């Protein structure tokens, strides 16, 4: 029996579970029929180890109020959040088609077609960012390509709900604990270190996805999670024009990708709307590819799944990378009292810490390698020698 099949034919909340559609790191998705006879839904049931996290129900209720604000043709409609018999589920509109991850598994996507898919993703994120909602787990597996040609963004708010960076204490405050859920292959540097997370973390993930769509590979191909996270923190991204043979990219598009993938969040696009405007300002055909060239490497499957990353693991990775986080990092463990007028407060509504990431720089080549005092002695001796030579010349 496959994982999750034991629920087939059973009731959960107001739904009868019919058939398994798929499964992933966070849960199993079923086709389910509402008891009232309305249209079937996609019912995502979280894995037991995730659904039992302390405070999950409170976070679900809080986030549900926020996510109900999102109404956009490119965002999957969430109909209900529920918990029953210790199981946590999300009911959403039932879609027909495949994920972008599944489509990429089949073959590379022609670059101009990839941009046509990508623009609706940006449109969906622009709407979310307008409401201060951060997705936190953008990746091809969370983009759905409908049979009718539509593009839908999935799993809004799920990564935040499953993280325990915000848990309610008895006095009603929100205490940040430092454990996060996300996908390492698409994680922004500040998301890894835990200094802050706002909409610019989504911009970084959008940059990784665009790079992947055009280059047919992710910017970093490490298989070990620790190496992958270190790469996001420290390693420069290979220019996209060098990442795939036969690919030509206009300078403006290359600059757009570089800006979205900047290690410093302050130098990225400020949100998806600004990135969308830059995309729409590109020339008519900003990318070309020699279709005669086949896929050069097998598509890398390592790393597309969500993972729970503890505060200790993030600390170990940042320290091993030689990165220090300033004392303001202490704020991550201090209680934050939400305004009384904002019971459905999003992460972006919390006081945002400034990035205090400091990456050690290599010594400059023009720095003196000889002590300053020694340089003065050498200079004095040279002057003395020159004076002696001048005196000899005058005497002759």
**CATH code: domain of residue 185:** 1.10.510.10
User: Is residue 16's pLDDT more than 50?
Assistant: yes
pTM summary value? 0.76
Structural domain includes residue 153 = yes
Select from 221, 203, 193 the least CA-distant residue to 320. Answer: 193
- Cα–Cα dist 89/239, whole Å: 42
User: Is residue 390's pLDDT more than 50?
Assistant: yes
Structural domain includes residue 20 = no
In this structure, of 83-92, 317-326, 346-355, 376-385, the range with the lowest mean pLDDT score is 346-355
> In which domain, by residue range, is 283 found?
96-358
User: Is residue 133's pLDDT more than 60?
Assistant: yes
Task: Specify the length of the chain in residues.
Answer: 396
Structural domain includes residue 314 = yes
Structural domain includes residue 376 = no
pLDDT of 170: 40
User: Is residue 348's pLDDT more than 80?
Assistant: no
15: confidence class by pLDDT, cuts 50, 70, 90? very high
Structural domain includes residue 52 = no
In this structure, of 77-91, 115-129, 175-189, the range with the lowest mean pLDDT score is 175-189
Structural domain includes residue 16 = no
Which has the higher per-residue pLDDT, 266 or 302?
Answer: 266
User: Is residue 347's pLDDT more than 50?
Assistant: no
Structural domain includes residue 277 = yes
391: confidence class by pLDDT, cuts 50, 70, 90? low
Count the domains in the chain.
Answer: 1
153: confidence class by pLDDT, cuts 50, 70, 90? very high
Identify the top-confidence range among 55-69, 150-164, 250-264: 250-264
What are 344's two structure tokens? 């459905």
**Range 299-316 average pLDDT:** 71
Structural domain includes residue 86 = no
- The catalytic site residues sit at 137
pLDDT of 354: 40
């Amino acid at each position: 029996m496959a994982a999750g099949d034991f629920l087939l034919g059973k009731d959960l909340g107001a739904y009868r579970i019919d058939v398994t559609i798929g499964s992933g790191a966070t849960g199993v998705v079923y086709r389910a029929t509402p008891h009232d006879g309305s249209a079937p839904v996609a019912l995502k049931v979280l894995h037991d180890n995730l659904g039992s996290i302390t405070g999950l129900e409170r976070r679900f209720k809080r986030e549900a109020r926020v996510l109900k604000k999102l109404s956009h043709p490119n965002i999957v409609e969430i109909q209900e959040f529920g918990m029953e018999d210790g199981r946590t589920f999300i009911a959403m509109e039932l879609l027909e088609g495949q994920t972008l991850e599944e489509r990429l598994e089949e073959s590379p996507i022609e670059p101009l077609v990839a941009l046509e898919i990508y623009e609706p993703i940006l449109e969906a994120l622009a709407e979310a960012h307008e409401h201060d909602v951060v997705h936190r787990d953008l990746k091809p597996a969370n983009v759905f390509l409908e049979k009718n040609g539509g593009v839908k963004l999935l799993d809004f708010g799920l990564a935040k709900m499953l993280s325990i960076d915000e848990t309610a204490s008895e006095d009603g405050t929100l205490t940040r604990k430092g454990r996060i859920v996300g996908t390492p292959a698409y994680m922004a540097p500040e998301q890894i270190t835990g200094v802050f997370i706002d909409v610019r973390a989504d911009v970084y993930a959008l940059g990784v996805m665009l790079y992947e769509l055009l280059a047919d590979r992710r910017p970093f191909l490490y298989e070990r999670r620790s190496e992958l996270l270190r790469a996001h923190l420290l390693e420069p991204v290979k220019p996209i024009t060098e990442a795939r043979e036969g690919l030509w990219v206009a300078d403006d598009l290359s600059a757009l990708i570089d800006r979205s993938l900047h290690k410093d969040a302050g130098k990225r696009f400020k949100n998806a709307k600004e990135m969308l405007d830059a995309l729409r300002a590109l020339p008519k055909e900003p990318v070309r590819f020699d279709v005669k060239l086949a896929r050069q490497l097998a598509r890398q499957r390592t790393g597309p799944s969500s993972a729970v990353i503890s505060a200790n693991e993030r600390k170990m990775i940042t320290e091993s990378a030689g990165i220090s986080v300033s004392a303001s990092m202490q704020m991550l463990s201090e209680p934050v009292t939400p305004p009384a007028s904002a019971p459905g407060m999003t992460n972006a509504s919390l006081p945002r810490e400034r990035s205090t990431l400091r990456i050690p720089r290599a010594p400059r080549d023009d720095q003196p390698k000889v002590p300053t005092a020694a340089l003065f002695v050498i200079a004095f001796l040279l002057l003395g020698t020159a004076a002696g030579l001048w005196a000899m010349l005058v005497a002759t």
